[in-house]
Amino acid sequence: MGNWDSFKDVYNEALNCKKCPLHSGRKNVVFGTGSEKADIMFIGEAPGYNEDIQGEPFVGAAGKLLNKLLNSVELKREQVYIANIIKCRPPKNRDPLTEEIDICKDYLYAQIDFINPQVICTLGNFATKLILKKNVGITSVRGKLFKVGGRLVLPIYHPAAALYTPSYLPSLEKDFITMKKVIEKEIKIHIEDEMESKEQLGLF
Ligand code: URA
């Protein structure tokens, strides 16, 4: 955890952050959006063009699909919290670099701590690897529940991947149903793997 006393402090620091070179190309820091009391938190990768302009995560094509998936399980964006692992747009939407993730991740961990969601849904490979602290591919873990430092984590496909590869869509829809059932405690939870290492507990 960082040294912040409140969510607002984390926000203010992130908004003025110049810890990595991405700050120089950004129009806006994309901190996150939604309810600070959310039961579900979604973690994406990095802001894209539209997100950088609007200062809000998932407002482009992938965001429209995310909204649709949320609505399919009777949830609205305002009820969940949506953030990315890095808060500034990489040039030409390239993948985040390891150094950028390392520098930026404390903001995300603090967001998780203050929001204290029941379930964290990691969207795609980058967020899944970071949160599970495991070098796993999304295809092998999606739809399975993990516990990290006492928190439930459900990796799912990134909506942008489902736009690119429409055959992913049925799995994504299914995983949203799983997520809804988990928060409504409608299913007996099977934990695929429980990670309680000191390192992980220290982070969350
Ligand atoms: N993709 C992401 O991972 N995050 C966004 O905010 C938008 C697209």
Which numbered atom of ligand 1 lies nearest the CA of 123?
3
Other beta carbons within 10 Å of 12 = 13
Model pLDDT for residues 41-93, shown as the tens digit of each residue? 999 999 999 999 999 999 999 999 999 999 999 999 999 999 999 999 999 99
Distance 45 CA to ligand 1 centre (A): 6
Is 127 near ligand 1, meaning CB less than 6 Å away? no
Note whether 119 and 153 are within 8 A (CB).
yes
List 105's β-bridge partners, or say none: none
Q: Residue 151 C-alpha to ligand 1 middle, in angstroms?
A: 23
* Residue ranges of domains in the chain: 28-201
> How far apart are alpha carbons 144 and 140 in whole angstroms?
9
Per-residue pLDDT tens for 167-188? 999 999 999 999 999 999 877 7
What DSSP assignment string belongs to 33-82? EE-TT-SEEEEES---HHHHHHTSSS-SHHHHHHHHHHHHTT--GGGSEE
Question: For 28-201, which CATH class?
Answer: alpha beta
